[in-house]
Structure 1
Amino acid sequence: MLLVSCNQADIFNNTLIVNFKPKYQQQELTCDSHITQTNKLWQINQFQFYISDVSLMADNQWHSAKFVTSAATQNSTERVALLGGVCPQPFNWQVTLQSTVPATGIKQIRFSLGVPFDLNHQNPMTQPSPLNQPDMFWTWQLGHKFMRLELTTSQQDWIFHLGSTGCQSASSMRAPSTQCKHPNLVDITLENFQADKTIQVDLFQLIRSIDFLDEPACQSEQHSALCQKLFSRLGIDAKQQLFSVSQ
């Protein structure tokens, strides 16, 4: 049994660094970027999202991968990583993976945007970082905010919080025992991905043509027209538009 356990551990001996690059209208997105929307200039206050359960395609089959955890950054567990950040602090747009396949053989990557159900509704005070970040958590009943995007001007804010809804439990302080009616956990598959490629995060594709003044907030309400528009662009019951592989 000990020999089998050691062999299982040793198969994750290939390391791959994956870089994400946020952009808006072909320009790199930073805290200093100006986003023109509804005839106003907006800036990022916070842009963060969880990814989880990564797999890599090689030899025409999917191979599971796990995140390399770091005491210095504390931005991942083996299954979940938090990307982005809160202005004006530096953002994290890089994850390190360990997998069973050499980086040179990788052809595709897939991951979930969000936190898996079995981790989503646990006590955040006892969860390891980054699942213990208070502003990325709603309640035990609803779980984590999978994505938190907040833009601001000197006079107003625009917010989008993605997470599960329709979660049933005895109270907001109790975790549900069954899957939420609207999990809003998005599976992302990116073809033509290789070890030297970057995953682009195109914010323009998510928020284009949205009137921030008439539609100032989405908290993942199922009947919100704004939320449905954002859900569709993220890939919920539609083809996702936020992520792509650099050419």
Structure 2
Amino acid sequence: MKKFWMLAPALCLSLAGCLGGGVSSSESPAQNQDASPPQPGFGGGATTVRFALKSGTQPVSCGSKLSNIGSSHANAQLTEGMMYVHDVALITDQGQEVPLQLDQANKWQFLNLALLDFAGGSCKQPNVDDNQPLDGSNSDVVGTAPAGNYTGLSFKVGVPISAKNAQGKEVGLNHQPAHSPPHPILGVYWLMWEWQSGHRFMRVDLAPDGGVKRQDGSGDPKWSFHLGSTDCKPDRNIAGGYRCGKPNRFKVMFDRFDPKSDRVVLDVQALFAGNDITRDDSADFGCKSNVTDAECQPIFDRLGLRLNESQPGANDGGQPLDDGRHSRVFRLEKIAS
């Protein structure tokens, strides 16, 4: 390709002149971004990062009937769909990640953490342990960014161990008594994970037609995916008082993102593509982030998380497999005008 341009400089110049200074190509995003001129992007200010839960192209909400789920192409109903995200940041044309300052008056947000509830309160059981759901649903993260030229987005899935408040004090987030959370989004009962002394970071529960069966004839109505930190032990030296051997938090990154026209989609079909949600012969019906659960390996692979240590003593269990740029379950789509 280089040889062609060296042999025909006059043609190159004449084409540039005729087309107003250059030739663009739809292939440009796949080229080396360092060699490309800076791209015009979002200028900052008030910012809303929109999310959506879908099954393929189908929008999903509480009770949605889904088809073609998992390796058995099952039909199922959504019974739960919630997720925490934190450290949401816009990426400048120079590659710098600038944290979005979240609106603290928004009931779905606290410090650097936001709760996305795609299913809404109607999927919840009332009066469970006296913890009521927040009214309605939420699929947005709302905040502000300083003026800049932003061309990308990054965020992390999960509840961080802690975050600093406006006074600079470290506040424990993932681990605190269920009856006295620092904010209502951390007191939702069905996202508490008391046996791990923390929270479920992501909860997507499906009820397949005919339920979930085991070889011994037993069954359950639901196949549930619950992501959270595991191997947690008390540690008074850190905020929140617990340290977890397998954090199970991961990052998602998009090099090209404009909050005015793009939204982030979590795809249920992609999430469960490697699992048969009508069968389960392990201890749990579904995956509860247990390293001994065979059903967890396919779903962790798709999330880009290492389920267990790569080898004994490596201490890399629960760590991301890459930088988050190649997600198999999250994608961007254009917002309909």
Task: Provide TM-score, normalisation by structure 2.
Answer: 0.61
Q: Which residue of 2 aligns with 1:58?
A: 92
Aligned to 2:113: 80
1:209: Cα distance to partner? 4.0
Instruction: State whether structure 2 residue 131 is matched by structure 1 residue 67.
Output: no
Q: Secondary structure at the match of 2:52?
A: strand
Equivalent of 2:264 in 199, 205, 210 = 199
Deviation string 1:83-127 (CA, Å, 9 cap, x unpaired) is 12346364311121222235xx22111111001112211223232
Q: 5 Å matches for 1:132-143?
A: 132-139=187-194, 141-143=196-198
1:214 Cα deviation after fit? 2.3
Aligned partner (choices 175, 196, 221) of residue 121 of structure 1: 175
Aligned to 1:145: 200
Unaligned 5+ runs, structure 1: 1-12
RMSD over equivalenced CA pairs, Å: 2.3
* Runs of at least 5 residues in structure 2 that lack an aligned partner in the other structure: 1-43, 124-135, 163-172, 212-220, 306-320
Instruction: Give the count of matched residue pairs.
Output: 226
Return the letter of the residue paired with 1:30: S
Equivalent of 2:80, from 23, 40, 46? 46
Q: Residue 169 of structure 1 corresponds to which residue in structure 2?
A: 234
Judging by fraction of residues, say which structure has more strand. 1
In 2, are the aligned partners of 1:161 and 1:218 still within 8 Å (CA)?
Answer: yes
CA distance in 1, matches of 2:90, 2:232: 31
Compare relative contact order (CA 8 Å, sep 6+) and give the higher one, 1 or 2: 1
Q: Structure 1: how far apart are the matches of 2:204 and 2:119?
A: 10
Contact (CA 8 Å) 2:74, 2:277: kept in 1 or not? Answer: no
Correspondence for 1:35: 67
State the structure with more CA Rg: 2
TM-score w.r.t. the length of structure 1 is 0.82
Q: Give the letter for the 2:142 counterpart.
A: T
3-state SS of the aligned residue for 1:228? helix
